Structure 1
Amino acid sequence: MSTKSDSQQTVRKQRAVQRNIDAKDKAKDKAKPKAKSPGAMQAGARKYPEPPFPKQHHPKPGQEWAIDPAPLYDAPFWQGSNKLDGKVALVTGGDSGIGRAVAVLFAREGADVAIVYLSEDRDAKATKQAVEAEGRRCIILRGDVAKRPFCRKAVAETVKRLGHLDILVNNAAFQIHASEFADLTEEHFDTTLKTNLYGYFHMAQEAVPHLKPGSAIINTGSVTGIEGSRELVDYSMTKGGIHAFTRALSGNLIAKGIRVNAVAPGPVWTPLNPSEKEAEDVSQFGAKTPMKRPAQPEEIAPAYVFLASPQCSSYITGEILPIVGGY
C-alpha cells in the first residue's frame, strides 16, 4: 500500500472519530440545561463580599470609613499564638486596607505597633483603637514617606516610644491609572516613584541600624509587578522595582541576620482602588480573577505574620509571595 493511501486512510479514521465526538457533543448540548455561571469562590472562614459593588469614586488618598462595603480587616477567626511576642513593628500605610489588617494581626500575635499614614486621621485613630483592643501599644505618625526627614523621625519616634524596632512593613503606596501612555505626566510618574520606591528605600535605610538578628523587613509588592498592567505603567514599574529591591536587599542584609521578603497581592478591597478607578470599574473590581472577587485585607494579612515571625519563616528571605486569587 502506498504512503499516499496510508495517509488517506488515517485521515478517514481521524474524521470518523471527529464525527463521532461531534455527534455526542451535540446530543449533550441539547440534553443538558443551561448551567448558571458559578459565583465567586468562598473558601474562607466567613463569606466575603463579591461584585457587583456599589458604584463609587473617592478622592485621594482614600478613606476606609467611606468605602461601601467596609473592608474586612479584623479576622475574628484568627487565634493568636504569641508568634510576635514582645516585638515592635512599624507599618507604613497602616491606617487602612492591608496595613490596618496587618497591624491588628501583629498585635494579636503580641507585637506593639507604630502606624505611619499620610493624612487619614480618622482611619488612623480607628486602627490605633483596634490595635489597643488587642492589648498592645500603638502610636500613630502622620507624614509623607517620600520625604527622608519624616522617615528618619518616624523610626526614631518608634524606637523612643516603643523601646526598639524588630519589623518594618513597607506598605504605603500611590496608584492612579492612565488609560493612554501619553496621559502619564511627569508629575504623576514622579509622585508614584517617590511614594512607592523612595518611600521604601528611605524607611528601610533608616530602620536597618535599629534591626537586630532575627528582625524582618516585609515589602508590599503587587501582581502588577509580575504581570504588568497597561493602565498602570508607572505603578507596575514601581512594584516590579520593589520585588527586585526585596531580592537585592535580602542578599545585602543576610549577614546581619535580617530577613527581607515581599507579599505581592492581586486585587484587594481597600481605599486604594475606589480612589483610583472610575465608579463603574469599582463596581466590578476583582470580578476577573479566577475567584471572581477581590481579596479582603484580612485574607492577605496572615502572609505578613508568617513572614514576620522567625517561628514560621526563619529560612525564608528574598522571596516574593503572590496572593492573587488563582492563576
Structure 2
Amino acid sequence: MAKRAYNFNAGPAALPLEVLEQAQAEFVDYKGIGMSIMEISHRSKEYEQINDETQELLKELLGVPAGYKTLFLQGGASTQFSMIPLNLLTPGRTAGYVATGSWANKAIKEAKLIGEVAIAASTEADGYRRMPKPSEIHVDDNWAYLHITSNETIGGVQFHEYPDTGKVPLIADMSSDILCRPIDVSKFSLIYAGAQKNLGPSGVTVVLAREELLAESPKNVPTMLRYDTHAKANSLYNTPPAYSVYMVNLVLKWIKAKGGVAAIEQYNREKTDLIYQAIDNSGGFYKGLVDRDSRSIMNITFAIEDEALEKQFLKEAQEAGFIGLKGHREVGHMRASTYNAVPRESCAALAEFMADFQRRNG
C-alpha cells in the first residue's frame, strides 16, 4: 500500500485505517450473504441489525441514560438548523441561541425564518476568538430551548464547560466534536451531529434526543421534517443512508476497541498538544487564532503574520503530503483538523514540519 496522506481535512475527514480495511474486505460480500451493504434492502434483517446495533453502540459509548432515542437522518446538520425550530419552536415561544461563529450563525439564520430568536450570548465583539463562559449566557425560563454549537469547526473554538439551563431544553450541534471526550448527556435534551468528521462518512446525521421531545411534532410540519415520523419508524420511514450507517457502526466499534471515549480524549489531547506546542514555542512565528482557554482539540487554527511566508508554508506542506491545512475562506490562514481518526503520527509529523519551516524561514 502506498503511503497515506497526512489528512487534516475539516470534513469529510480522516477515517480510521482499520475501519477502511474492514469495509474494503466486506464491500462485495457482507458476512457471506452474497451482496454488499450498498445492495441490500433496508427492510432486511441484516440492515435492521446494523441499525439497532449502531444506536446501542452510540448510547453505550456516550453513557446515555434511559429515555433517549437515536435517529439516523439525512440532509446534514444544516437541515437540523431548520428541523429543530420547525418541531420545537411553537408560535408564541422564543428560542435562545449562543452566537459563537460561522456554524452557530447559520443555525440562527435558519431559526429566524421560522420563529422568534433571542441571542443568549455572543462573542462577535471578540472576533469569535473565544467561547462565552456559562455565566455570560442568559437563559429565560420561558424559552422553547437554548441552542449552542459545542465546537466551531471554522474558528477553532470549543466549549469546555456547558451552561446549566435548568428546565429549558439544551440543544447542541456537536458535528465536529462528538465522541472526542466524555460528556454528561443528561444535561442535553437534543444533540445532533453530521457524521463526516468524527463518526463516519457524509450522508448520515445522528440525532440523540429525549423521547418526549420526539414524541409529537406540530401537525403543520411536513412529514419528512417531523421528528415523530422518524422516531416512530426507528429511522426506517424511508430508505436510509444504509452504507453510511454501516460505516458509523464500524467507527463506533473502533472507538470501543480503543478503550472508549475517555481513552480517545487522552489520545486527542496528547496529539493536539504537539501542534499547540509548536505554535506556543515558536516565539511568535506562528500565532494561534483563538484564546487559549477556548482552544479546540478538534480544529487548530493558526497564522504566520507574513502573508508570503504563509503561502509558502501551505505550498511546501502540500508537497510534503499534508492535506487540508488551508484555513476556511471566512477565516483564512491555516487550520489542522485533528479528529479522532487522525493518528498521532500525523500530528507529530506536522509539528516537526512546522519547526523545520520556522528554522528555515524565521
TM-score class, shorter-chain normalisation, is 0.3 to 0.5
TM-score (norm 2): 0.30
Rg comparison, structure with higher value? 1
Q: Choose between structure 1 and 2: higher strand proportion.
A: 2
Q: Choose between structure 1 and 2: higher helix proportion.
A: 1
